Amino acid sequence: MTNKEKLRRILADPILWIETFVNIVDKRGKVVPFKFNPQQKYVMRNKEKFNIILKSRQLGITSVALAYSLYLAITKPNSVCMIMAYSLDSVNNIFEKLKQMYSDLPDCVRLETIANNRKELKFVNNSRIIVCTCGSKDNARGATLSFVHLSEVAFMNEYLDKQLTAIEQALVPDGCMILESTANGLNRFSELWNKTVSGEKPLWKPFFFSWVQDKRMFADEYKEFSKRYKNIYGAYLTEEDFDETEVALSQKGASLEQLMWRRLKISNSSEAKFCQEFPSNPMEAFLNTGSNIFSTSVIQERLNGIYVAEAKGELRLKLPVKVDPIIKKHNKYMSIYKLPVKNKKYFIGVDTGEGLGADNDYSVISIVDESGFQCLEWRSNKVKPYEFAELTYKIACWYNKGLLIVEKASAGHTVVDKVRHDFHYVNMFKYRTYDQKKGKAQRKVGWETNSKSKPIMISDMQEWFETGQCLVNSKQLLQEMKFFELVDGSMKAVSGHDDTVMAFAMALQGLKSGQYYFAIGK
């Protein structure tokens, strides 16, 4: 390969260009060649136009954004790159790092600048790199942006939405925007993340990087803390000393050094603070606000169990070949944890949305068996109520004509009416109400959520979940449970939706009721 061919190959590959020409100051204060860690390389290889990254601390994502900005600015004339931070101090630190990278470039690739002040590098080829704060000033106005990186979005202020709108409009067709942050409680970033992973923001691509995946950035600290651990406790940590969380972390790939480091970090602050700064899974990152109805520790314990089961290839099942066409049509919205078993009773909670997509409520079907095991969850907000009614009927028939508990509010009336009268389905939950004129009790089909029934159903679900009388298998449900709180006397989701919570709680109410209007085995 000739030198010209080598150069052509380097110019075509930003990772190769950066590792060939860019230097960085490491944690020891030494200037060293930029070498990608696995997380940085994964982002570079897999990024799309809109990206959101939830991560553990100090994995070097902003550093790679700076290096990539230099690559674009120098190799592609008229490019404009923007790095946005949450504070002036952060902007100063980022800009100093950018200038260090630029000044250490070899003479053969370093372009002259015609502006190097006010947090901007402007090059002779008319490319620019801007470093700015997320403030009231519309930094993207009038610009045509090739690449934008927002650093520590969870700490940004009330101007974030304004900046995001302006940036999206300013991105070139093949441009790229990355939102990156560690968690900072429940805020706009947590909302954006939850909507992305739930599919409510389909244009955005989520990335999550656990502290367990890091084997390089904290390598020296892992060794140092391991020695401290032995000095304090007289011996290194062994597998026999693991608690349940450490067993799960070990199965994810955490080394003994990392686990000793984790123990000492927690002893110096708290487990909740550690999980926020160094999450091992996305749900762990976002701290509760103190009014959670469901125990976050039990949620985390169950989540660990799910990750272990998934690592073993267990839990999630494929749809059988012989199943109704409408179920096959909407299979992508369904998770199956246990297939129906002959002569077994099933209880099916149904919460109905309007099927309008976007940020609107979801339609959810949640099925539990006689033991409280969650067998199936179906969730989408894109299916119209009339079609959802037929799907509900077909799934109920598939699960041995199980007891349907359908919330009647809003579009739920459509489901109750069609399933009961159009499909002549008999096994449906009935609630008691009183005819005030006649003074007689009557039973009506469906479930009515009101100020009396909601506290009972949620309290029962809380008890069953925390005492092990039911088994949740859905990560979506666990996520909603984590954000389900008591706020001003009202039980509701403080972030995102709570439709899967309501559907599962209704399924448990069906199990609790003792109602069943279908003879199993006939």
> What residues contact 93, with CB distance under 8 A and at least 6 apart?
none
What residues are paired with 317 via a beta bridge?
336
Q: In terms of domains, do 278 and 363 share one? A: no
Considering the domain architecture, whether residues 389 and 463 belong to the same structural domain is answered as yes
Please report, for the domain that includes residue 182, its CATH number: 3.40.50.300
470 shares a domain with 365: yes
- Whether 348 is in a domain gets the answer yes
pLDDT of residue 400: 96
Q: Which of 263, 287, 311 is the last residue of a domain?
A: 287
Whether residue 123 sits in one domain with residue 57: yes
Which structural domain range is residue 8 located in?
Answer: 3-209
Residue 253 gets the label, from left (phi > 0), alpha (psi -120 to 50) or beta, of left
The answer to whether residue 171 sits within a structural domain is yes
Global confidence as pTM:
0.75
| Whether residue 31 is found in the same domain as residue 162 | yes
Check whether residue 161 and residue 230 sit in a common domain.
no
Q: Is 113 helix (H, G, I), strand (E, B) or coil?
A: strand
Return the pLDDT at 518: 81
Task: Please state the domain count of the chain.
Answer: 3
Residues 22 and 140 in one domain: yes
Say which DSSP state 136 is in.
S
**Does a structural domain hold residue 294?**
no
Looking at the fold, whether 86 and 171 belong to one and the same domain comes out as: yes
Domain contains 8? yes
Based on the domain organization, do 257 and 390 belong to the same domain?
A: no
pLDDT digit string (tens) for the chain, length 522 residues: 677 777 788 888 999 999 999 999 887 888 999 999 999 999 999 999 999 999 998 889 999 999 999 999 999 999 999 999 999 999 999 999 999 999 999 998 899 988 777 789 999 999 999 999 998 787 777 779 999 999 999 999 888 999 999 999 999 999 999 999 998 887 889 889 988 887 778 899 999 999 998 888 888 899 999 999 999 999 999 999 998 888 888 988 899 999 999 999 999 888 888 888 899 888 788 765 557 899 888 988 898 888 778 877 778 888 998 899 999 999 999 999 999 999 999 999 999 999 998 788 999 999 999 999 999 999 999 999 999 999 999 999 999 999 999 999 889 999 999 999 999 999 999 988 766 666 676 889 999 999 899 999 999 999 999 999 999 999 999 989 988 988 777 888 877 789 999 999 999 999 999 999 887 765
Domain boundary among 269, 287, 305: 287
Q: Does residue 40 lie in a domain region?
A: yes
- Which CATH number covers residue 397? 3.30.420.240
Residue bearing tokens 């080829």: 125
Host H or E run for residue 73? helix 61-75
Which residues have a Cβ under 8 Å from the Cβ of 473 and sit 6 or more positions away? 306, 315, 335, 337, 373, 374, 377
Q: Which of 287, 316, 345 is the last residue of a domain?
A: 287
Residue 154 to residues 243, 261, 407: CA-CA distances in angstroms? 31, 25, 36
The reported pLDDT for the residue numbered 434 is 65
